[in-house]
Amino acid sequence: MNTPPPLPGPLPLPVPDPRVRDVVPDYAGMDALVADLVLPGDASMYVMSALETSRELIRHSYYRYEFATAAVTHSLFALEHVLAGRLAVDEPLQGLIERARDAGLVPAELAAELDRSRALRDRLTRGTVTSAALGPAAAVAMVRAVFAAVSLLLRPPTATEAAVVDLSRAQPEDRLARLWEDHRRAPYPDSFRGVDIEGVELILLDAAVAGLVQQEVDGALDDSGAAVLWSCIADLDRIVPLINSEYCASYFARLRTTAALAAARHIPTAT
């Protein structure tokens, strides 16, 4: 039997990542950073494991900065598992988040924060950002949103919530009509008038999508209008994760869901 040679001496201590030096003074400071990430006691072992791993990845980002971004993406395993179980629907995470928001299971502001995490994961998958996209403080805020959503979703559904969930499973035409009515009643975020993000002026995008959705509701959206609508959806996918206002983010996240429902019957032309 071969035995490994003895170690030459004590293992070296891990070296703090210099990119974390402005976040906490030492490793013990990471405890305070993750202190409010409390595991929900009534979660399954799968969910508990995913959330605990996310929390510990943030803690250990003191030694490897990239662990912070990994923590956010790992927490989405728990979120997707709980959403699929609560909604009894098997579909991509973006759709699950939208259904949970529309059903009132999570507030619109929280849903927008969850979708930022989902969008980050998708950008990592496409290679448009790296694992150094987030620092520990930003990662804590995003993982905290997942912890909060999981806790809300694990509560027993009320009769009212159950009825709304059933409504969220309605035909796309019914969901479009309801979401479109909700969006028409919602006031535009005043502080974002005249604001553009990455070259997209928000109020003009809102107006463009509104006109196209109304055409679809009226049964008048043609192929050229559908192409413009798909282009607007691409703009929304790009800018919603960058909006730093909870109300504005939820406003445009709902607009994106409404636009997607309106465009669903119009497959974009391959380019």
Answer whether 39's CB lies under 8 Å from 144's CB.
no
Residue appearing with tokens 């909700």: 182
pLDDT at position 67, please? 96
For residue 163 the two structure tokens come to 């009825």
CA 109 vs CA 90, 101, 115: distances in Å: 23, 9, 10
Tell me the per-residue pLDDT of 63-95, one tens digit each, with 9 for 90 and over: 999 999 999 999 999 999 999 998 888 889 999
Instruction: State the DSSP string of 13-58.
Output: PPPPPGGGTTT-SSTTHHHHHTTT-PPPTTS-HHHHHHHHHHHHHH
Distance CA 54, CA 56 (A): 5
pLDDT at position 205, please? 94
Residue type at position 218: D
Average pLDDT, the chain: 86
**Residue 148: partners with Cβ closer than 8 Å, 6 or more residues away:** 110
Distance CA 252, CA 115 (A): 12
**Residue 181: partners with Cβ closer than 8 Å, 6 or more residues away:** none
The secondary structure of residue 154, as a DSSP letter, is T
pLDDT-derived band at 172 (thresholds 50, 70, 90) equals: low
pLDDT at position 69, please? 96
Q: Is the dihedral of CA 158, 159, 163, 164 positive or negative?
A: negative
pLDDT higher than 90, residue 104:
no
Q: Which of 62-71, 171-180, 238-247 has the lowest mean pLDDT?
A: 171-180
Can you tell me the mean pLDDT for 133-137? 92
pLDDT at position 105, please? 86
pLDDT higher than 70, residue 168:
no
pLDDT higher than 90, residue 181:
no
Highest mean pLDDT among 7-16, 64-73, 188-197: 64-73
Residue 118: name the closest of 84, 153, 72 by CA.
Answer: 72
Q: Is the dihedral of CA 220, 225, 227, 229 positive or negative?
A: negative
> What is the greatest pairwise CA distance in the chain?
79
pLDDT higher than 70, residue 209:
yes
pLDDT at position 173, please? 64
